[in-house]
Amino acid sequence: MAFYASRIIQILPYFLKGLLMTIEVSGISLILSTVLGFVLGILRTADSKLITRSIGVYVDVMRGTPFVVQVFIVFFILPSWGLQLEPLPAAILALTAMTAAFICEVVSGGIKAVPKGQWEAAAASGLTRMQQLRLVILPQSMQTILPPLVGQYVLMIKDSSVVSVIGVTELTRVGWQTVVRIPEGLMVFTLVGILYFVICYPLIRLSNYLEHRLSLQTVKL
């Protein structure tokens, strides 16, 4: 036991550095994918068939291919098209592109869940399309959007482990690097798992709380 403890103290600094990198990659991707996902989700509900179909194709491709393949494409294929990225920006680009597709679906689903009469009432009073969306539709959609949105963040943090394959020294890669050097393999990946859980768990609770609040509100209305 004492042996384990000293081992943990020995390796912990590396793991914390890995954890910080995981938080950095996920955090930046979270912000970017939220912005991009909302823009795509809003455009997905637009009138133009060309726009909605193009976004639909994009979303299907992102949802229908393994994330690890997407990461390889960004890191190894894009350079041959002239876009050469360091591992960290490549990881952020891949995570953002994938998560934005899922957020797009969450957002457009939330917007479509608002009854058509709300758009009509807002339009009839002279509000522009952007005002209708901002003042009337989105505030009502947020209730349905928030719980699955936070759920997407959890999935993204876990998927960020995949970017270890292109050499981003985040938590999972630190795990791989450590496990080849010391004999306690089980302990290493248990620690990796615990550290992921520590950042994901509050978000899971938040998502559950938002969902619970939503169901209460639906009962009230």
Give 56-65 contacts, CB < 8 A, sequence gap 24+. 58/101, 59/101, 59/104, 59/105, 62/97, 62/98, 62/100, 62/101, 62/102, 63/101, 63/102, 63/105
* Residue 185 touching other proteins (CB under 8 A): no
Closest contact distance (angstroms) between CB of 213 and other proteins is 14
Stretch that binds other proteins, among 26-34, 97-105, 116-124, 176-184 (CB under 8 A): 116-124
Q: Is 215 exposed, middle or buried (0-12, 13-18, 19+ CB in 10 A)?
A: exposed
If the CB atoms of residues 54 and 118 are measured against other proteins, the closer one turns out to be 118
* Residue 210 touching other proteins (CB under 8 A): no
* Structural tokens at position 195: 């550290």
* Structural tokens at position 105: 């679906």
Query: Which of 86, 64, 90, 65 has the alpha carbon at shortest distance from 163?
Result: 90
The single residue among 52, 54, 131, 177 that binds other proteins, judged by CB under 8 A, is 131
Closest contact distance (angstroms) between CB of 16 and other proteins is 43
Closest contact distance (angstroms) between CB of 113 and other proteins is 13
The single residue among 115, 185, 193, 202 that binds other proteins, judged by CB under 8 A, is 115
Closest contact distance (angstroms) between CB of 138 and other proteins is 10
What is the gyration radius of the CA atoms in the chain, in angstroms? Answer: 21
Q: Where does this chain bind other proteins (CB under 8 A)?
A: 115, 117-118, 120-128, 131, 135-136, 139-140, 220-221
